[in-house]
Amino acid sequence: MADARFRTWLCVILSIQILLKSDAFNVGITYVQNAVAKGGVCLDGSPPAYHFDKGFGAGANNWLVHFEGGGWCNNVTTCLDRRDTRLGSSKHMVKEVVFSGLLHNKQKFNPDFYNWNRIKVRYCDGASFTGDVEAVDPATNLHFRGARAFVAIIEDLLSKGMSKAQNAILSGCSAGGLTSILHCDRFRALVPASAKVKCLADAGYFINAKDVAGTPHIETFYSEVVATHGSAKNLPTSCTSKLRPGLCFFPQNVAQQIQTPFFLINAAYDSWQIKNILAPGVADPHGTWHSCKLDINKCSPNQLEIMQDFRLQFLSALNGVGKSPSRGMFIDSCYAHCQSEMQETWLRNDSPALAKTSIAKAVGDWYYDRSPFQKIDCAYPCNPTCHNRIFDPNGHPEV
């Protein structure tokens, strides 16, 4: 009996492994050693790193550079907490990461970009690659050099063939999605002028909203990030000439001035934003929002009403994007965060859809100018195709 049960479980495990292998594959790490001499380093002074799967066939001269997410650090204490982890040091990064979704190399899973050169850039500076402080305090050995690291990474990729790019996309998820927004025009300037260049931000449209206690928590936090990392000089001058630098970390204050075409993938009830902007721990000392943040199905009617108001604030913040067909958007009503990196949400039979269109098709149609795409979903819980996140109560620390 026990042997039969063991064999059954073994078959299940093997089946899952086969399924996972069909949906994803591992890619090894590359360290940008020459970035160190340029001062473009991680928080601990180690070189930045990326994972590179080479393009082939008709996609050999096409490049998709995707930046990883991972929040931010807003002062010496929180940056020290990151310094000796994968989010602050390439010494602590795993040697291989999984590529799936928009990074997949099979046409079935990624029809428009499968044969491109696909790069996943690891996140290790703590400020969406915007920081640039020359001085390094020997007591902490903290390096705030994300902006230099960004340029060093792009220059390294140019030397490996991106200088011949015909098509190029700068993309990212979460804090990496913010990187793709803030650096979109800079990327355009670094890539050959003859290339077709666009940007893609997945879950990177963080909004300036007050928390449930009525406090501007995220506005204060972003101002501290910008001040700690010396980011002001690397934020769009079209914004910093009018507003305080910390406000120019918010996409709603810079999107209108971006010259390069860009596409936004975002949940109107972005799970990270609900957990960290709307209801951060400091605004919810009694943990009233704890269960709701882990699973939207556990939210009370009053909490859902507050989240519906947050959605309206999010949609209002999108107004600056405009209606130009060069700007695309896929704004669903899911409780989710980062939908391009996972196969189940990028492209699968049951992946999220707007107007019967998957994220993968919407992005591909927009990039190749087959058709524009600007769709905003109806309010939760109207979309049955959503993959709403359910979180582990022991994970996901808040800002």
- By the 8 A CB rule, do 38 and 152 touch? yes
Q: Is 264 exposed, middle or buried (0-12, 13-18, 19+ CB in 10 A)?
A: buried
Out of 229, 337, 358, 377, the active site residue is 337
Strands 357-358 and 374-376: unpaired
Helix, strand, or coil here: 142?
coil
d(CA 13, CA 133): 49
Joined together, the tokens standing for residue 223 give: 């101002």
Is-catalytic flag, 23? no
Out of 125, 270, 284, 332, the active site residue is 270
CA-closest candidate to residue 174, choices 133, 136, 138, 128:
128
Residue 112's alpha-carbon distances to 177, 200, 218, 346, in angstroms, are 20, 14, 36, 12
What amino acid occupies position 74?
A: N
Contacting residues for 26 by C-beta, under 8 A, at least 6 apart? 96, 97, 98, 99
Sign of CA dihedral 277, 278, 283, 284: negative
Out of 174, 231, 340, 358, the active site residue is 174
Is-catalytic flag, 337? yes
Is-catalytic flag, 66? no
Where residue 89 falls (left for φ over 0; alpha for ψ -120 to 50; beta otherwise) is beta
Which residue is associated with the tokens 């998957």? 358
Q: What are phi and psi of 222, to 5 degrees?
A: -65, -40
- Annotate 324-359 with DSSP letters as a single string: -TTEEEEEE--S-S--SSSHHHHSSTTS-EETTEEH
Sheet arrangement for strand 62-67 = 96-99, 25-31, 49-53, 117-121, 62-67, 167-173, 196-202, 262-267, 327-332, 374-376
What amino acid occupies position 319?
A: N
- Annotate 151-180 with DSSP letters as a single string: HHHHHHHHHTTGGG-SEEEEEEETHHHHHH
Residues in the chain: 399
Which residues are marked as active site?
Answer: 174, 270, 337
